[in-house]
A and B are shown apart, each in its own frame.
Chain A
C-alpha cells in the first residue's frame, strides 16, 4: 500500500539535488515541450496514432541497434525517418487511408523487432527500458542527445510554424497562397519521427502516443486560439512530467505510467469542469426563460 506522509513534501525538494533526478527532469521537460508542440499538429491533422506507429517502427530500429551493437536510438532514428517518409510516399502513390497506412507501419515495425529479438536470444533489460521508458536512468549521453534533438526540433518548428499551421488548417488554400505544401508536410513528418524517437526514453514505446495526444486534446477542449492552445498544451505536458516524475520517486511507481496518468487526470478534470459549466449555464438560461414567460 502506498502511503504519502508529511515527510513526502520536503523529500520532493531533497530529490532535486540528485544528479539522476536533475537529468530526468531536464530531459522530461524538454521532451514534454516538443511532444506537445508536434502533437498539436498531429492531432489537428487527424494523425493522432502517428506516434504509436513511429514508436513501433522505432522498436524494430532499437532491436536492430541491440542486435548489431550500435547505440539503439541512432538506429531507431534512421529506421523511423525512412519509414515515415516511405509511409507518406505510399499514401501519395496508392491513396490508401491514413489509418491503414499507420496500421501497416505499426505491425511491420513491431514484427521486425520481434524477429530480431528472437534471433538475438530474447528480451533483455535494455529492451524493457525502451518499451516502458526509463527516465530516471537517463545518462549524460542520452541527455546530450535529447537536448541537441529537441533544440533542432524547436528551431525548425519556429521557422515553419506559421506555414505549417496554414497547411494544417487548409492544404488547398495554403497551396494557392504559394506554399510548397508537399515539402512542408515531408519536413514535418521527419521532425515528428525524430521527436517520437527522442521521447522514447521518457515514457517508452508503448506510451509515447499519450504524450503527444493527451495534453493537446485537453488544450483544444479549452476553446482558445492556436498560440494559446499550444501554450496551454505545453504547460499541461510540462507540469504532468514534473509531477509524474516526483510522485513516481516518492511512492515508488513507474515514472512513465505516473506521467501519463497525471495527463489523463488533468484531461478528465478539464472535460468534467467544462461539462459542469455548460450544464450550469444551460439550467440558468432555462430558469431565466421560465421566469420571463411567467411575467
Chain B
C-alpha cells in the first residue's frame, strides 16, 4: 500500500457560479487521523463527495491509494463512509444485521464478518432489532459497523455525531480511537467538536472554501492567531469561544486585531 492514501491537488468545485472549494490541496498518509474543521457551508461535505466520486465535474486531481479516482472506481471498496445527514427513514423495515450486510454487497458475504463488525461496535444483542427501535447513537454505531464489515483501509466520517447525546458521542469517539490506534485504520473526520478533534486527530485541515491550514494538530491548536485567521468571519466563532471558555488555560485571550 502506498504511504499516501489520499492526495488532493488544487481541487476546485462550484455549484452554479459560486466556488465551494478553491484550489484545496492536502495529503493523508497511512495510519493518519485527520480532523477536518471549518464553519457550516465551508465545503467539507463537498470535499468528501468529490473524493468519493459522488460529485464529478471538479478541477484538480484526487488520488486514492495512488490512483486517480477518475480512472479507477474499485478503490471505493476500500473506503468506509458515514455521511453527515442521516437520511435514513426510521420506519424502514430493516434490521441491524441487514444494514451491516449492505457493506458486503459485491464482496463475499459472510455471516461471521457481519456478526463480528456488529460485536466490535457493541451492538451484538441488537443484531435482530429493527433500526427504528434504536437510539441515534446506536444507529451511528450500526453505520460504523456497516463501514467496517468490508475491512476498509480508509474511513471517512462527515460530522457523524450530529444530533446524538453526549454519552453516545463518547462511546462513538472511543470506537474511532481504537480503530485508529489498535487496528491502524486511516480516518478522516469532519466535525465542529474541536475538543474531540484535538484529542483524537494527529493532523488537522482547516477548510473554508480554501485550505487555511494543514498540519500537526498541536501546531494548529497551540496557535490561536492561526486558528482565528482560519475561522474569521465564520459562524464557527461561537464554537471556538465555547472551546476557549471550556479550556482550563483561561488567561489566554483571543486577539483578532493582529489577524
A interface residues with partner B (beta carbon < 8 Å): 44, 162-163, 165-166, 169-170, 172-179, 219-220, 223-229
Q: Are A229 and B93 in contact (CB under 8 A)?
A: yes
Q: Are A225 and B128 in contact (CB under 8 A)?
A: yes
Query: Which segment, of B95-103, B161-169, B170-178, B183-191, faces chain A?
Result: B95-103
**Most interface-central of B83, B93, B103, B128 (chain A CB within 10 A):** B93
Partner of B88, one of A165, A170, A176, A224: A170
The 10 A-B residue pairs with the shortest CB-CB distance, nearest first, are A225-B95, A229-B93, A178-B76, A166-B102, A176-B81, A226-B94, A176-B52, A220-B93, A226-B98, A226-B93
Complex alpha-carbon distance, A172 and B83, angstroms: 8
Expressed in whole angstroms, the minimum distance between the Cβ of B117 and any Cβ of chain A is 15
Q: Are A44 and B89 in contact (CB under 8 A)?
A: yes
Contacts of B73 in A (CB 8 A): 178
Partner of A169, one of B79, B94, B97, B130: B94
B106 proximal to A (CB < 8 A): yes
Expressed in whole angstroms, the minimum distance between the Cβ of A285 and any Cβ of chain B is 17
Provide 12 A-B residue pairs closer than 8 Å at the C-beta atoms, listed in order of the A residue: A44-B89, A44-B93, A162-B102, A166-B105, A172-B54, A172-B87, A173-B83, A176-B52, A176-B79, A176-B81, A178-B74, A179-B105
Q: Are A226 and B87 in contact (CB under 8 A)?
A: no
Partner of B130, one of A166, A179, A225: A225
Known contacts A223-B130, A227-B98; A177 and B92 CB within 8 A of each other: no
Complex alpha-carbon distance, A219 and B91, angstroms: 12
The interface residues of chain A, by DSSP majority, are classed as helix
Complex alpha-carbon distance, A178 and B53, angstroms: 9
**Most interface-central of B53, B83, B99, B133 (chain A CB within 10 A):** B99
B225 proximal to A (CB < 8 A): no
Complex alpha-carbon distance, A165 and B130, angstroms: 15
Q: Are A176 and B103 in contact (CB under 8 A)?
A: no
Complex alpha-carbon distance, A179 and B53, angstroms: 12
B interface residues with partner A (beta carbon < 8 Å): 52-54, 73-74, 76-77, 79, 81, 83, 87-89, 91-95, 97-99, 101-103, 105-106, 128, 130, 132-133
Complex alpha-carbon distance, A220 and B102, angstroms: 20
Contacts of A44 in B (CB 8 A): 89, 92-93
Contacts of B94 in A (CB 8 A): 165, 169, 225-226
Given contacts A177-B106, A178-B74, A224-B93, 8 further A-B contacts (CB under 8 A): A44-B93, A162-B102, A165-B98, A172-B87, A176-B52, A220-B93, A223-B133, A228-B93
Complex alpha-carbon distance, A173 and B143, angstroms: 10
Contacts of A177 in B (CB 8 A): 76-77, 102-103, 105-106
- Chain B residue nearest to A180 in the complex (CB): B73
Complex alpha-carbon distance, A165 and B103, angstroms: 12
Contacts of B101 in A (CB 8 A): 162
Q: Are B54 and A169 in contact (CB under 8 A)?
A: no
Complex alpha-carbon distance, A166 and B150, angstroms: 15
